[in-house]
Structure 1
Amino acid sequence: MDYEIIEDVRQCRRVVETLMKEEMISCDAEGINLGKDGPLTLLQIGTTDGHVYLFDIHKEKRMFQDGGLKQLLESDQVLKVFHACSSDSQALQHQFGVSLKNVFDTQAAHLVILEQQGRLIPQMLKLSKICEIYGTTEMEEKTGMHIKWNKVFDYWEIRPLTEEMIEYACADVRVLVPEIYENQIRMLKGMNAMVIFNERVEEMANYRMDSNLQKTRKERIANGQKAVLRNMCLKYQTYVSCETLTDEDEKASLGRAWTEEEINLYMNPFVQHMYYEGFVNGLKELQTEMDQDGDDFNANVIHYIKLCKGKIYPQPRLKMLANDLCTGFCQFIFNGIVNKYDKQTPLYYLRSLEKMLLKEIRIHSSKDKSRYHSVVVDLHFKLTEDSIRQFYQTLIETPSKVIVTKGYYSFIYSQTKRSFVPASVREAATQLKQAIDKAGKGPSQKKNSRSTRRPPSGQN
């Protein structure tokens, strides 16, 4: 492998000076649950001749400001080719004040190309699949690495970098340029789709940090899914098995976890039949996957959302299956939490699904508390305290953007009184309650008036 590890500011300045002369580079980043809070620990940059630079950010964070990486990533002169840059962009912005510019995103390019070909619900793909479609260099699936990350939660903080880590990190950027980029840019230009592509790249890079872009993106995806359902209602006027479907848009639309209200609104009885049949099949496949993979099962948020939806659907068989699976699913997650973490674990190590389940625990008494392992309880209260302190900060900084629901106010009040709640949580809750009362945001203090624009509300 042709690579160089950069570990100090002086080295970094030398390399950046060289990279600033390139017309195009490929970029990627690794970290722990990479995003706003999940630390970026490694930045990879590749050149068109196959050389890769690995910037060890975990060892030296000053490389962005003092080493010139910020200047490079914000340069309008050097094109940066990423694959699905949203998490990278969020981490760079929040942790290092870097705003990506002049970006070509291969995930965004793929989605736009499919849309131009008539797809209403284009699906995001892993980089290995992008290679199959737009390149000639094959890339192996990295399932084994993701299993390892689930068990070794601080994998990308391990130093020195192992050969396995180096090989993985280099592969992600080496395949992007020039081949995939050249094939995609040729197709986009041939479709006269560069304007919409540039808009989608801007969205890909910033939607995690911009609520308006999130709304736009969510509405576009939802409108595409609803359009597919409308077409299906016209197409299917008799009972058809979901297993006979070949249209990718139809399968994608039925693969979403719709609410019961949406099912009744957008699906005729025949499409509903396919949807529920497919949902049951999906739950059975999930059950098989959990049984076969055991401790290596790669649980994700989408699994849990579907299980939660299934538990409230009207079909008894589906509801029972979802309930049974959800119990085992949650226990699997909690077992993993107990095996991996302790009460000193920083919250950024926790995966999104782990945080979701920990937040949903309801501890109203000492008896409730005793039902869970102490590590689970400790992390639950750490998340609770973190959430309360964040809400307090928002209230102090931008009170006009905050409303407090009756349920949230009651929750905060309860946290100030219960003896089994840790002292730090009681302290944070007391501080927030006092601030809410002082700002006149308590439910009993609010005037019975409606605002034309509702700010975000506090939630338990």
Structure 2
Amino acid sequence: MAAEQTEVVTESNRCAEIVSGLLRTETEVAVDAEGVNLGRTGPLTLLQVGTRDGRVYLFDIHKNKVLLQPGFLKDLLESTKIVKIIHSCRGDSAALRAQFEVNLHNVFDTQVAHLEIEESKGKRLPVELKLADLCDMYGGNSAALESKDDIKKAWMTTAGYWAIRPLKPEMIQYAVADVIVLFALYDNLISLLHEKGLYGKFQKSVDVEIVVQTDSAVDKRKQELLTSTVDAILKEIATKCDRREYQCLEDLNENEARAIGLCRTDQIIRSSSTFKKIRMQSVDKFVMETEGKIANDPMACEVSGGLYGKLKANESEYIGTDLGRRIKILLNRVGKIQMEQLKSKYSVDTPLEYIRGSDFGPIRSIRVDEEDNAIRRALYYRVTVRDLLVLKKQYQENPRAVEINKGLHNKIRFLATRSGHCSRELKHLSKELWTTFVQRYGREHKY
């Protein structure tokens, strides 16, 4: 894209002028957002809007939050007349709703369109795709997205990357690419949806995605639907195992292979030996793939945020087996990589909202009395202070609703009475909570 077609917008007057023009002349715009851990609480820092004739406006929300107020971008994003083409809108929508009270309307979500088309082919557990893969599948300029993975690795390892100002050339390139490819994708997908009679169902699914991260009832219904679908497929697999139609993982189709990977421990315990064997083969395949990714690129464990939790669940399933021992070794390696990344990715004063969700677990697991790295120690203090402040507030509002388990009780006692490396704020807060809990439960609370 020519440089003159891309404009970084920081001034309110210029924003109002652009929005007014778009509302007059456009029927569709391509939209994307960037931010730090973007979502309901992760700050939205940049909003991109593209047009069919190749113009891309990068609205710098980090510098000027007024740009998303009424009279500015809010009017465009909430317009029922202009289609907003977005790839996977739920994170962007959650940030807009929670942080700016902007409610998206008339959205065409390319990810949702893909999932609906896949479901119409009989795939009950269709896989979400990256934008580049979607372009390859349905027609679009995926070449414009070739550098995205390299740039993504940079911002995955740099705290607050999308809050860096001024915007770097590669940041602008990344942000622009995300919207310029959407129009060709939109034209092809909307044609397919109408051709297959799926457009009405698609619109209802988009309405769910717009609110799913900010409406707990909607999120619960979506999760219940996924669970019921997985359970139904697992029952089918179990029946085929009992009939000896299935003997190994390779016998399963795509839907079944995904379902077996999502199987819960209680479902495995009640299953046949063949079902258990297939489940073990599925976990073994996942472990082998993860071992390969980490051997080739240690950053692989960071890119897939829930990796540690999934490995931990699988470890408990196979304790005492060779597979369990391999998982334990892999967990130790992933844990060490995550700990090393904490000190390279963050600083002692990194804002808490810039910390990735997948890093809070490793931070909370730090043995602070044994920790010799100042950055990791500072992160532990600040995250623990935040956790205890939340606990204190909840306890003040409704003591009966707060569950004080043995681990939490011992942690607060340790911080209050024995930790020699505690920050002053954390020491004071933990002593206050410890005194409160001793008064209510006694020094040796029974669990």
Q: TM-score, normalised by structure 1?
A: 0.85
Does 1:93 pair with 2:97?
yes
The number of aligned residues is 431
Does 1:15 pair with 2:15?
no
Partner of 1:410: 409
Take 1:161 and 1:294, find their aligned partners in 2: how far apart are those partners? 27
Equivalent residue runs for 1:103-252 within 5 Å: 103-139=107-143, 140-141=145-146, 142-177=148-183, 179-236=184-241, 237=244, 240-242=247-249, 244-245=250-251, 247-252=253-258
Counterparts in 2 of 1:443 and 1:79: CA distance versus 1, 3 Å: farther
CA contact (8 A) 2:6 2:58 kept: yes
> Greater shift after overlay, 211-220 or 409-418?
409-418
Take 1:251 and 1:89, find their aligned partners in 2: how far apart are those partners? 31
Counterparts in 2 of 1:425 and 1:245: CA distance versus 1, 3 Å: farther
Partner of 2:48: 44
Counterparts in 2 of 1:163 and 1:425: CA distance versus 1, 3 Å: same
Take 1:379 and 1:37, find their aligned partners in 2: how far apart are those partners? 19
In structure 2, give the amino acid aligned to 1:404.
E
What's the CA shift for 1:331? 0.5
Aligned to 2:96, the other structure's residue is in SS state helix
Take 1:423 and 1:67, find their aligned partners in 2: how far apart are those partners? 46
Partner of 1:451: none
Match of 1:63 among 67, 78, 82: 67
Partner of 1:281: 285
In structure 1, give the amino acid aligned to 2:157.
K
Counterparts in 2 of 1:281 and 1:190: CA distance versus 1, 3 Å: same
In structure 2, give the amino acid aligned to 1:410.
H
Take 1:313 and 1:374, find their aligned partners in 2: how far apart are those partners? 36
Take 1:327 and 1:409, find their aligned partners in 2: how far apart are those partners? 24
Take 1:387 and 1:402, find their aligned partners in 2: how far apart are those partners? 16
Does 1:340 pair with 2:345?
yes
Counterparts in 2 of 1:406 and 1:337: CA distance versus 1, 3 Å: closer
Superposed CA RMSD in Å reads 2.8
Take 1:303 and 1:295, find their aligned partners in 2: how far apart are those partners? 12
Take 1:147 and 1:320, find their aligned partners in 2: how far apart are those partners? 30
Take 2:116 and 2:253, find their aligned partners in 1: how far apart are those partners? 18
What's the CA shift for 1:406? 4.2
CA contact (8 A) 2:312 2:331 kept: yes
Match of 2:357 among 352, 357, 368: 352
CA-to-partner distance for each residue in 1:153-187, whole Å, 9 max, x for gaps? 3322233323322221111111112x322332333
Q: TM-score, normalised by structure 2?
A: 0.87
Does 1:262 pair with 2:263?
no
What's the CA shift for 1:152? 2.6
Q: Which runs of 5+ in 1 are unaligned?
A: 445-460
Take 1:301 and 1:164, find their aligned partners in 2: how far apart are those partners? 24
